[in-house]
């Protein structure tokens, strides 16, 4: 039980919480690739723009709600330059999990970004992503 608590605390400590944690990116348009890898006995979400890894955190099953939270932080950092979050094929299983509506929610989030949404807009537009279903 104690080992599980330590693992959960360690995973939780990897989460992106603030736009200040992200590097500056000079690109006129920012597309973030949402990737997945298994390493160090854990599952990880890797965020990249171009060749630059901008963040690495624990991956979550049915992680579309987490993607929405991260999208809001990314929108806060990169503003209207953030035009898309693009999951890789290998990340889609963890993003979707058993959520039948994950692809639709991702499209809603990306549509918000394409229209120059603010962080608050992204949170509101994908609100269903955080519902327990």
- What pLDDT score was predicted for residue 64? 95
Region for residue 89 given its phi and psi (left: phi exceeds 0; alpha: psi -120 to 50; beta: otherwise): alpha
Task: Read off the pTM.
Answer: 0.87
- What pLDDT score was predicted for residue 12? 86
Each residue's pLDDT, cut to its tens digit, for the chain (133 residues) gives 887 788 778 888 999 999 999 999 999 999 999 999 999 889 999 999 999 999 999 999 999 999 999 999 999 999 999 999 999 999 999 999 999 999 999 999 999 998 877 767 776 665 544 443 3
117, two tokens: 């949404």
- What pLDDT score was predicted for residue 32? 98
- What pLDDT score was predicted for residue 126? 53
Task: Report how far residue 133's alpha carbon sits from residue 126's, in angstroms, rounded to the nearest whole number.
Answer: 14
Q: Which residues of 25-37 are buried (b: 16+ CB within 10 A; e: fewer)?
A: beeeebbbbbbbe
CA 44-131-116 angle, to 5 degrees, is 75
Angle between helical axes of 64-78 and 89-96 (0-180°, round to 10):
120
- What pLDDT score was predicted for residue 6? 83
- What pLDDT score was predicted for residue 7? 76
Residue spans per domain, the chain:
2-17+24-130
Burial (Cβ within 10 Å: 0-12, 13-18, ≥19) of residue 39: exposed
């Amino acid at each position: 039980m104690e080992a599980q608590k330590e693992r959960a605390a360690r995973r939780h400590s990897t989460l992106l919480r603030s736009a200040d944690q992200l590097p500056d990116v000079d690109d006129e348009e920012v597309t973030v690739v949402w990737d997945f890898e298994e390493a160090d006995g854990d599952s990880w979400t890797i965020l990249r723009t171009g060749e630059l890894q901008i963040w690495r955190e624990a991956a979550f099953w049915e992680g579309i709600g987490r993607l929405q939270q991260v999208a809001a932080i990314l929108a806060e950092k990169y503003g209207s330059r953030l035009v898309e979050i693009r999951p890789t094929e290998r990340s889609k299983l963890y993003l979707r999990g058993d959520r039948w509506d994950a692809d639709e929610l991702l499209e809603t989030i990306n549509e918000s970004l394409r229209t120059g949404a603010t962080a608050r807009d992204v949170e509101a537009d994908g609100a269903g992503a955080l519902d327990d279903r």
